Copies of this chain bind each other. A is one copy, B any other.
Amino acid sequence: MTKLITRGEAMNYIKDGCRMMVGGFGLVGCPLTLVETLLATSVTDLEIISNNLGEPGKGLGALVRQGRVRKGIGSYFTSNPDVAAAFNRGELDIELLPQGTLSEAIRAGGAGIPAFYTGVGAGTKIAEGKEERVFSDKRYILQEALRADVALIKARKADELGNLIYSKSARNFNPIMAAAANIVIAEVDEIVPAGGLCPENIVTPHLFVDFLVLKEGG
């Protein structure tokens, strides 16, 4: 019952047209070995949920440049001009969410909450087409949960069971994405025996993690 697979084997779970979550805040905490391996495949027509779509030509940005991303759902694509260019050519669909709404929608997807209300974005362009509702005289908008077919996440260390801990601000979206996809593949720097992580300090319990891949050179 080992969860350790090769980076090549991990690619079997990423299909044309699938919806994928990818951890990271920019390149920090992004599973770069998995993304690079994906680049070497021919998988295309991807819908990607990620705070950003990498940087120009780097990380997920390379997939964008190759025209293999159908849609991006995230909070901040401004720093990658390739995204704007593809969007303006009509080749890339974008769904923009405030970063807190994005992260809460992913958490909801993992926690079996189909939808929630948030005040963030009410009365702004972000609210266009969204249902509005008043609680205690304040306007809120309805946000549905986000889930994906597969999540690629990055952790610092796993034990053999798949329990995970993270590194500093590289934690970001990874723990919530670990709960919100049908198949979860975690790229890690190191795998230790079961018992090698303190039960109090485990951030992602192993029930969320399907497969482990060792970081290239890690």
A121: B residues at CB distance < 8 A: none
Q: Please, which residue of chain B has its CB at the minimum distance from the CB of A116? A: B116
How far is it, in angstroms, between the C-alpha of A111 and the C-alpha of B100 when the chains are bound? 10
A114–B108 CB distance below 8 A? no
Does A117 have its Cβ within 8 Å of any Cβ on chain B? yes
Among A138, A165, A200, the most chain B Cβ lie within 10 Å of the Cβ of A200
User: What's the number of copies of this chain in the assembled complex?
Assistant: 2
How far is it, in angstroms, between the C-alpha of A115 and the C-alpha of B115 when the chains are bound? 9
Q: Please, which residue of chain B has its CB at the minimum distance from the CB of A136? A: B114
How far is it, in angstroms, between the C-alpha of A168 and the C-alpha of B118 when the chains are bound? 33
Q: What per-residue 1/0 map shows which CB atoms of A198-217 lie under 8 Å from chain B? A: 11110000000000000000
**9 closest residue pairs by CB, A with B:** A116-B116, A114-B135, A201-B201, A115-B117, A113-B116, A114-B117, A114-B140, A113-B118, A115-B135
Give 9 new A-B contacts, CB below 8 A, not counting A113-B118, A115-B116: A104-B113, A112-B118, A113-B117, A114-B119, A114-B135, A115-B117, A165-B200, A168-B199, A198-B201
